[in-house]
């Protein structure tokens, strides 16, 4: 995350407070107390102003604009949360706003505010695909799945100012190009197999080829031939891509499906091997619950991805 500064600088500024009071009156109250509306306005405006000043964005006027800032003619929405999470929460009104205005926006800057009012720019998301990564919660809020968006190169994490180029289109093009290169590698393998008729191969035959290549990884490792190990790993991936084609599947979809199952799986590392929760004895399950949360469940909460580390998976 990129530290932008502290919001308290604005909260003690009389002119800023008066400005926010004027803005708060422009929002539809929906039976909410004015003090509550003002509080949200103060935080929202302070984050927008801090983000705009540090990143040299041009902040826009609330009364005449549907977005918070611009940079090189790109329209930017700036949102904030007090939860440092891989899932970002949006109220129904905010989500409906994005659905309505997504075609007129280019990026969403997702900022995190800690308990001391330090503000960080955490993620930049592509607004054009924003709704693809949203789901509704039990409380009628909406959640943006940062992990999935990052995997698809539609969102990226901010580490330092070099992650925010002068022209954000350069970053978007880079993201799209990276995704294209990844897909292209798989597609080239499929084309290679199709030309050679492998896409119509018998399942058992292709399955045996997969086993053969995996065995070669082990043989090369035993012989300490690391170049051959690398080659055998690549060959194994090729045979798996072709096996997926044989069954009418797409290897990328298979990978996504598997990762979505395992990414929240609880378990412990025992002698270098990960043992999932369901196969642990009761004592180890209690250790697992203590270190990973969500007691009694085989999966930890999505929010745990923000604080889990290797030690949480050790006995």
Q: Is the pLDDT of residue 138 over 60?
A: no
Q: Which of the listed residues 137, 164, 191 is the one where a domain comes to its end?
A: 164
The pLDDT value given to residue 94: 65
The pLDDT value given to residue 218: 95
Total domains present in the chain: 3
Question: Are 75 and 206 within one domain?
Answer: no
The pLDDT value given to residue 136: 67
The pLDDT value given to residue 190: 87
Question: Are 64 and 155 within one domain?
Answer: yes
The pLDDT value given to residue 212: 95
The pLDDT value given to residue 304: 75
The pLDDT value given to residue 272: 81
Reported as a single tens digit per residue, the pLDDT across 258-290 is 887 888 889 999 888 899 999 999 999 999 999
Question: Are 100 and 120 within one domain?
Answer: yes
Q: Band the pLDDT of 238: cuts 50, 70, 90.
A: very high
More confident residue, 62 or 59: 59
The pLDDT value given to residue 207: 94
**Residue 259: inside a domain, yes or no?**
no
Question: Are 125 and 229 within one domain?
Answer: no
Closest to 26 in 3D by CA, of 60, 59, 62, 61: 62
**Residue 180: inside a domain, yes or no?**
yes
Q: Is the pLDDT of residue 52 over 90?
A: no
Closest to 288 in 3D by CA, of 310, 312, 260, 258: 312
Question: Are 30 and 71 within one domain?
Answer: yes
Average pLDDT over residues 200-207: 86
Question: Are 104 and 133 within one domain?
Answer: yes
**Residue 43: inside a domain, yes or no?**
yes
**Residue 255: inside a domain, yes or no?**
no
Average pLDDT over residues 212-226: 94
More confident residue, 197 or 100: 197
Question: Are 110 and 142 within one domain?
Answer: yes
* Cα gap 134→136, rounded to integer Å: 7
Q: Band the pLDDT of 228: cuts 50, 70, 90.
A: very high
What are the CB-based long-range contacts (under 8 Å, 24+) for 129-133? 129/154, 130/98, 130/102, 131/98, 131/99, 131/102
Q: Strand, coil or helix: what is 69?
A: strand
Closest to 174 in 3D by CA, of 194, 160, 154, 192: 154
Q: Band the pLDDT of 221: cuts 50, 70, 90.
A: very high
CB atoms within 10 A of CB 49: 22
**Residue 169: inside a domain, yes or no?**
no
Q: What is the mean pLDDT of the chain?
A: 81
* Strands lying side by side in the sheet with 134-136: 87-90, 142-145, 134-136
Lowest-confidence region among 3-7, 39-43, 81-85, 118-122 = 81-85
Lowest-confidence region among 104-118, 149-163, 209-223 = 149-163
- The domain in which residue 192 lies consists of 174-250
The pLDDT value given to residue 299: 87
**Tokens at residue 71, please?**
């940079």
Q: Is the pLDDT of residue 118 over 70?
A: yes
Average pLDDT over residues 196-211: 87
């Amino acid at each position: 995350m990129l530290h932008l500064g502290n919001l308290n600088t604005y909260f003690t500024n009389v002119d800023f407070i008066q400005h926010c009071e004027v803005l708060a009156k422009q929002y539809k109250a929906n039976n909410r107390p004015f003090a509550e509306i003002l509080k949200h306005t103060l935080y929202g405006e302070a984050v927008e102003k801090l983000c705009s000043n540090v990143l040299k964005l041009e902040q826009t006027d609330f009364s005449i604009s549907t977005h918070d800032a611009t940079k090189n003619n790109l329209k930017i929405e700036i949102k904030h949360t007090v939860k440092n999470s891989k899932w970002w929460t949006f109220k129904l009104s905010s989500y409906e706003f994005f659905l309505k205005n997504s075609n007129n926006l280019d990026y969403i800057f997702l900022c995190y505010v800690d308990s001391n009012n330090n503000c960080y720019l955490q993620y930049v998301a592509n607004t054009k695909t924003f709704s693809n990564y949203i789901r509704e919660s039990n409380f009628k809020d909406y959640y943006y799945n940062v992990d999935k968006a990052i995997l698809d190169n539609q969102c990226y994490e901010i580490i330092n100012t070099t992650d925010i180029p002068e022209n954000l289109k350069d970053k978007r093009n880079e993201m799209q190009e990276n995704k294209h290169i990844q897909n292209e590698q798989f597609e080239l393998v499929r084309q290679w197999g199709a030309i050679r008729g492998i896409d119509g191969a018998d399942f058992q035959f292709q399955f045996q080829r997969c086993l053969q290549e995996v065995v070669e990884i082990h043989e090369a490792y035993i012989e300490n031939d690391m170049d051959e190990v690398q080659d055998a790993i690549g060959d194994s991936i090729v045979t798996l891509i072709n096996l997926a084609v044989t069954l009418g599947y797409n290897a990328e979809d298979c990978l996504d499906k598997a990762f979505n199952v395992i990414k929240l799986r609880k378990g412990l590392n025992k002698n270098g091997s990960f043992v999932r929760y369901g196969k642990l004895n009761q004592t180890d399950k209690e250790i697992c619950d203590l270190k990973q949360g969500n007691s009694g469940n085989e999966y930890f909460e999505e929010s745990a991805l923000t604080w889990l580390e290797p030690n949480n998976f050790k006995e």
